Amino acid sequence: MMLPRGYGSITKRDKTYKRCYWARGASVYYIDEETGELKEKRKSLGFFSTRKEALHALEKYHRERNLLSRDDATFAEIYERWWQEKFPTVRESTVYTYEHAFDLCGALHKRLISELRLSDLQEIIDKSNKNYPTLKTMKILMIQVFNYAVKYDLVLKNYATYVDIGRYKNKNPNKMERDKFSHEQVKSLWNTVECKYDYISLMLLYTGVRISELLNLEKVNVHLYEQYFFVKESKTDNGIRKVPIHDKILPFFEEWYNSSPEDYKYLLYDKEFTKLTYIEYVRKYYKPLMTKLDITLTPHCCRHTCISMMSEKGVDPTYIKLIVGHSGAMSLTERVYIHIDIQDLVLAINKI
């Protein structure tokens, strides 16, 4: 069966190959910017065991390609298409990282990807005033988006691979701003919270727990009368600990605890009384709240902020390590000879 002109081709290789059918897109001709010569490029879609499989690959290629016009595809549209494929393969904690990087590339969103050049991408990096790890994530995102565009012949070259972030490697222009909320931002947060999903940010700020620790917290491990909860699942063994509940956020814990059915397992839940996931929390609640306050900080920054606030208020370093689960950093004397009651930790956290 002959394929339509411009559709691509299926070539059969020698039968000694297990996958002998080679599917390729149609030829694309372009002018090499360096040599000025006319060149041909064909997209290889892979090798397949049967002609039917190769034909399906060609059909998928054209189906995806036709979703976006080569002439009017924007950076944001390509990102959305790429993200639909990428999303199922990434960890929950990576989701916010990618979405935050995309937000930082806001000036590119409505630009036609076919018109973007290295200078446009480099300008986003140079004007971002972000630290090196964030710049690295932004560059990775740009590369991924352009790779997707190259894959479907929407652009011929991935300019993002040439973006220079090396000059910023030893510079953190806003390290403190990245790591923690300012006093003004914390105050704004208190003045803005309206529902129990907003409370979660303050619960993170005033306990120093990792977001995963709070999302996995079971009601059976919440002791409201004694004013603490027990973290039984953590990133590290040292993270298994008792965490005091600050007086200011005790009502938030009480509301969450008492507002779910008795047989529901977790402290936090979504509106259908199922476990609240990281992705759902960040997308539906955390990110909109931070956008309203014009704050570009991740949930993990709440943990840094809590540590900073305790340090500023003169909380004993040993207490800080116990509260946030850094007991591995404790000295031998601290680990062996010092035993601290949970009520002492409550008094310590109440200093902030």
Geometric angle at alpha carbon 54, from 49 and 55, rounded to 5°: 140
Write down the pLDDT at residue 4.
74
Q: If we measure between CA atoms, which residue out of 133, 135, 161, 164 comes closest to residue 147?
A: 161
Give domain 178-349's CATH architecture: Orthogonal Bundle (1.10)
pLDDT of residue 346: 94
Cβ count within 10 A of residue 205? 26
Q: What is the distance between the alpha carbons of residues 342 and 245, in angstroms, rounded to a whole number?
A: 10
Domain with CATH 1.10.443.10 in the chain: 178-349
At residue 208, the pLDDT reads 94
State residue 176's pLDDT score: 42
Q: Which residues contact 167 (CB under 8 A, 6 or more apart)?
A: none
Can you tell me the distance from the alpha carbon of 120 to that of 108, in angstroms, rounded to the nearest whole number? 8
Q: Which residues lie below 8 Å from residue 66, measured CB to CB, with a gap of 6+?
A: none
Q: What angle do CA 122, 123, 124 make, to 5 degrees?
A: 90
Q: What is the pLDDT of residue 258?
A: 94
CATH fold group of domain 75-173: DNA polymerase; domain 1 (1.10.150)
Cα gap 3→14, rounded to integer Å:
21
**Close Cβ partners of 89 (under 8 Å, ≥ 6 residues apart):** none
Q: Which residue has the tokens 């704004």?
A: 188
Cβ–Cβ under 8 Å, residues 204 and 211: yes
Report phi then psi at 333, rounded to 5: -60, -45
CA dihedral 190, 193, 198, 202 (to 10 degrees): 10
Domain with CATH 1.10.150.130 in the chain: 75-173
Nearest-angstrom CA–CA distance, 255 and 258: 5
Q: In the prediction, which pLDDT does 327 show? A: 56
209 CB contacts (<8 Å, ≥6 apart)?
A: 231, 243, 303, 324, 325
Residue 97 confidence (pLDDT): 81
What pLDDT score does 337 carry?
43
Asked if 43 contacts 61 with a C-beta cutoff of 8 angstroms, the reply is: yes
pLDDT tens for the chain, residues 1 to 352 = 677 776 788 888 777 777 888 888 877 665 565 666 666 777 788 888 888 888 888 888 777 666 555 567 899 989 988 887 787 777 766 777 888 889 899 999 999 998 999 999 999 999 988 888 889 999 999 999 999 998 888 888 999 999 999 988 876 655 544 468 999 999 999 999 989 999 999 999 999 999 989 999 999 999 999 999 999 876 666 678 899 999 999 999 999 999 999 899 999 999 888 899 888 898 889 989 999 999 888 888 999 999 999 999 999 998 998 999 865 555 544 454 456 789 999 999 999 9
Task: Compute the radius of gyration of the chain from its Cα atoms.
Answer: 26
Q: How far apart are CA 349 and CA 247, in angstroms?
A: 9
CA distance 12 to 49: 10
How far from the centroid of its chain's Cα atoms is residue 92's Cα? 7
Q: How far apart are CA 123 and CA 315, in angstroms?
A: 43
